[in-house]
């Protein structure tokens, strides 16, 4: 029996049979041309599109395999270093427009985007004709070739749009590229998905207006109005995902994005109407989405559980401190998605936060409980609501659901970096703590004779325009050292704190803290900062640490000069690791400096400089 909105009895594959209705054999051959044949259009355009994306994934999967299993001696080979440096240059070099506070994707990613653009332009515009040369005597069909091929190109994009959107996805598993870094490909493939959908739509409009059948087609064919509804939903998905719209209201963006995606997939399903192999792409998309969703839910409900309770307080500089006891494990720089169940409507939203602690070390047979710590900068909306809750209930407890961990450092690179340059800006101060924790733990594992030798070094640079954050960082650093039974910084660790705020802020730091001013009710924020009755994760007001070990500089750091000096002092056998978390301008300065050093390594084959950038705000 026919199914509503579908053109006949349901079948997985249909409509491939071909019988030439033209009078001339040459006309039949023309209609069946390789790039024109409607009955094989899915094989000519959709299948190559999936092959194109799959080939790109395989290239990086192979590179990830060799990176994981390459020996240390091979990695230090000059030829290998040159090739690695070239790859890193393409991964680090980007472009910036200061007036828009915008950083481009790295040069290598832009090159991949250019290759994809060339592919879609050639597959869409190179084959001819765009429209059938129909006459009063010869009718090749009512589906313009341009519309046919662009429609199948569009459908071939669909599984990869969803594959790059999921937090748990097979692309990250095989390539080692974390899901937040795949977001740029998610957006770019979505652009190709939408543009080819437009190129599929407009030729039908042109053809029907030219033949005078537009009204009849709209009234009698389900393909037209289902396609229009799907295209409107797809337009919303594409344009409402631009950065300014996401930042304006992230919660509304997420809700509307999922709703529009549901409408889009439903109407696109009816629009395709199991034409040729179109439903194969829905099946592939459904499998990828379902596996990703099920894996995430399994982690949330079975790995972390539903009874996790977080202790929430306000730090002395206005950070929201969230502490969650857990038996889970995570690594440096990894982030979790957290759902706070006690915030009313906000309990329906989930937000990413970087872990600012590391799990306790345990033996193979122990299952030690650790404290997962997040330091959250209060801004508007959800974070302001969370800050007000922490102000109303000092050291209060709230049930949370946790999904993660995701992303993070390449731990092999972190461990191999005997010399480290750690740079952060503003609220990235909390991100420094697990990086230093990992460094100190690795230092403890060294033989006793090597601990006093300068075999490793770490240089920490924190730039902030908030003196309260600078003081908070010093107190937190002192607490970290105390966990290692240290009263002072080891001589192989240098800490430089740059104050970039105004002199007015320096005179009244608690009244002008950059984070406290972000709350919806600044007058309450001032009370939080001044009043000692509110709980804090760091209650110490003074430290026994020798202040001479920490340099205080009232200026902006010259980041390119810092990178150059560290590279100059690095040995040719050890790896220099540069790790940065900060605003876009900071990331740009550091990445450009490290990229410039890679060109020198390409020429000489000496030294090894690795960069990891933690995005300040990627959601």
- Report CA dihedral (50, 45, 47, 141) to the nearest 10 degrees: 140
Q: Is residue 225 part of a domain?
A: no
Q: What is the pLDDT of residue 9?
A: 60
Whether 471 and 548 map to the same domain: the answer is yes
Instruction: Provide the phi-psi class of 293: left if phi over 0, else alpha when psi is between -120 and 50, else beta.
Output: alpha
403 lies in the same domain as 415? no
Note the pLDDT of residue 3: 54
Q: What is the pLDDT of residues 144-158, one digit of tens each?
A: 999 999 999 999 999
CATH number at residue 332: 2.40.30.230
Cis peptide bond upstream of 129, omega within 30: yes
Place of tokens 């946790």: 402
- Name the region of 15 (left: φ>0; alpha: ψ -120 to 50; beta: rest): left
User: How are strands ordered across the β-sheet holding 493-499?
Assistant: 550-553, 493-499, 457-464, 417-425, 575-582, 608-615
SS (H, E, C) 198-239: HHHHHHHHHHHHHHCCHHHHHHHCHHHHHHHHHHHHHHHHHH
Cβ pair 318, 527 in contact under 8 A? no
Residue 463 CA to residue 553 CA, distance in Å, equals: 9
Residues pairing with 157 in the sheet = none
Whether 312 and 210 share a structural domain: no
Shared-domain flag, residues 527 and 556? yes
pLDDT of residue 219: 85
> Which domain covers residue 605, as residue numbers?
411-444+454-615
Start-to-end Cα distance in the chain: 46
Please indicate, yes or no, whether residues 487 and 505 belong to a single structural domain of this protein. yes
Which residue is associated with the tokens 């105004």?
A: 502
Tell me if 256 is assigned to some domain.
no
- Residue 449 maps to a domain: no
Spatial distance between the Cα atoms of 78 and 63, rounded to a whole number of angstroms:
18
Q: In a 3-state reduction of DSSP, which class is residue 165?
A: coil
Q: Of 177, 106, 179, 73, which is closest to residue 416 (Cα–Cα)? A: 73
Is residue 403 domain-shared with residue 419, that is, in the same domain? no
Q: Where does 396-466 have alpha helices with state H?
A: 411-416, 429-444, 448-451
Q: What is the DSSP string of 280-315?
A: HHHHHHHHHHHHHHHHHHHIIIIII-S--EEEEEE-
Q: How far apart are CA 354 and CA 335, in angstroms?
A: 4
Q: Are residues 106 and 73 in the same domain?
A: yes
Same domain, 434 and 403: no
Do 577 and 465 belong to one domain? Answer: yes
Question: Domain for residue 241, yes or no?
Answer: no
**Shared domain check, 212 and 142:** yes
Number of domains in the chain: 3
243 domain residue, yes or no? no
Cα angle vertex 404, ends 287, 380, to 5°? 110
Whole-number Å distance between alpha carbons of 544 and 510: 22
Sign of CA dihedral 58, 59, 64, 69: positive
Tokens matching residue 483: 């966990």
d(CA 429, CA 412): 23
Helices (H) and strands (E) in the chain, counts: 23, 14
| 2 touches 8 (CB < 8 A) | yes
Strands 351-354 and 309-314 turn out to be unpaired
Q: Is the dihedral of CA 140, 141, 142, 146 positive or negative?
A: negative
Angle of the 584-604 helix axis to the 78-92 helix axis, nearest 10: 150
User: Residue 405, preceding bond cis, omega within 30 degrees?
Assistant: yes
430: domain CATH number is 3.40.50.80
Strands 370-376 and 320-326: antiparallel
Decide if 137 is inside a domain: yes
Which residue, among 315, 313, 300, has the nearest Cα to 468 in the 3D structure? 315
Q: Kindly report whether the global pTM for this prediction surpasses the value 0.85.
A: yes
Is-contact 14 275, C-beta < 8 A?
yes
175 inside domain: yes
Please choose, from the candidates 376, 268, 263, 254, the residue with its C-alpha nearest in 3D space to the C-alpha of residue 313: 376
* Tokens coding 309: 């309770």
Query: Would 2 be classed as within a structural domain?
Result: no
Ranges of residues in the chain whose predicted pLDDT is under 50: 1-2, 364, 508-544, 547, 618-619
A 10 A CB-CB count for 491 gives 10
Whether residues 91 and 151 fall in one domain: yes
Residues 415 and 525 both lie in one domain: yes
- Classify the phi-psi angles of 104: left when phi > 0, otherwise alpha if psi is within -120 to 50, otherwise beta: beta
Contact 198, 235 (CB under 8 A): no
* Residue located via tokens 């997040």: 374
Question: Quick one: pLDDT at residue 162?
Answer: 95
pLDDT given at position 8: 57
pLDDT at residue number 285: 96
């Amino acid at each position: 029996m026919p199914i509503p909105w579908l053109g006949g009895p349901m079948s997985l594959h249909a409509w491939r049979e071909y019988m030439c209705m033209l009078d001339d054999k040459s006309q039949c051959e023309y209609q069946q041309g390789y790039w024109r044949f409607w009955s094989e259009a899915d094989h000519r355009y959709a299948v190559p599109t999936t092959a194109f994306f799959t080939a790109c994934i395989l290239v990086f999967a192979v590179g990830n395999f060799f990176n994981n299993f390459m020996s240390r001696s091979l990695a230090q080979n000059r030829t290998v270093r040159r090739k690695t440096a070239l790859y890193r240059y393409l991964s680090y070099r980007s472009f910036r427009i200061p007036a828009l506070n915008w950083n481009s994707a790295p040069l290598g990613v832009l090159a991949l985007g250019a290759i994809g653009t060339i592919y879609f332009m050639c597959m869409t515009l190179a084959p001819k004709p765009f429209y059938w040369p129909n006459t009063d005597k010869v009718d090749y069909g009512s589906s313009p070739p341009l519309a046919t091929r662009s429609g199948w190109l569009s459908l071939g994009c669909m599984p990869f749009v969803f594959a790059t959107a999921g937090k748990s996805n097979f692309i990250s598993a095989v390539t080692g590229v974390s899901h937040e870094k795949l977001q740029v490909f998610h957006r770019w493939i979505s652009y190709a998905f939408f543009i080819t959908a437009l190129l599929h739509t407009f030729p039908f409009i042109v053809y029907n207006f030219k033949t005078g059948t537009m009204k009849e087609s709209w009234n009698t064919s389900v393909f037209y109005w289902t396609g229009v509804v799907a295209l409107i939903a797809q337009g919303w998905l594409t344009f409402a995902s631009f950065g300014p719209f996401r930042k304006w209201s992230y919660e509304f963006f997420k809700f509307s994005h999922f709703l529009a995606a549901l409408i889009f997939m439903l109407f696109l399903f009816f629009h395709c109407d199991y034409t040729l192999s179109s439903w194969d792409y829905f099946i592939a998309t459904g499998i990828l989405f379902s596996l990703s969703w099920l894996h995430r839910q399994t982690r949330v409900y079975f790995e972390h559980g539903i009874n996790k309770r977080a202790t929430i307080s306000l730090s002395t500089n206005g950070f929201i401190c969230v502490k969650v006891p857990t038996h889970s494990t995570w690594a440096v720089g990894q982030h979790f998605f957290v759902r706070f169940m006690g915030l009313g409507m906000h309990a329906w939203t989930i937000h990413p936060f970087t872990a600012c602690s590391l799990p306790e070390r345990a033996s193979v047979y122990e299952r030690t409980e650790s404290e997962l710590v997040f330091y959250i900068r209060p801004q508007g909306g959800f974070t302001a609501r969370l800050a007000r809750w922490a102000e109303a209930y000092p050291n209060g407890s709230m049930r949370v659901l946790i999904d993660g961990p995701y992303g993070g450092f390449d731990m092999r690179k972190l461990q191999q970096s005997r010399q480290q340059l750690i740079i952060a800006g503003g609220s990235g101060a909390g991100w420094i703590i697990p990086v230093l924790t990992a460094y100190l733990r690795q230092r403890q594992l060294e033989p006793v004779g090597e601990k006093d030798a300068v075999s490793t070094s770490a240089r920490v640079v924190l730039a902030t325009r908030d003196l309260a954050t600078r003081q908070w960082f010093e107190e937190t650093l002192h607490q970290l050292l105390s966990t290692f039974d240290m009263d002072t910084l080891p001589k192989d660790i240098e800490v430089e704190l740059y104050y970039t705020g105004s002199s007015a802020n320096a005179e009244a730091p608690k009244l002008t803290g950059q984070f406290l001013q972000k709350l919806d009710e600044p007058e309450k924020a001032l009370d939080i900062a001044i009043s000692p009755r509110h709980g804090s994760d760091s209650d110490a007001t003074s430290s026994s640490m020798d202040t001479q070990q920490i340099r205080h500089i009232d200026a902006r750091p010259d980041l390119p000069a810092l990178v150059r000096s560290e590279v100059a002092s690095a040995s040719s056998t050890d790896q220099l690791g540069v790790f940065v978390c900060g605003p876009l301008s900071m990331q740009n300065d550091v990445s450009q400096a490290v990229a410039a050093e890679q060109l020198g390594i390409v020429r000489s084959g000496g030294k090894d400089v690795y960069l990891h950038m933690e995005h300040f705000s990627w959601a």
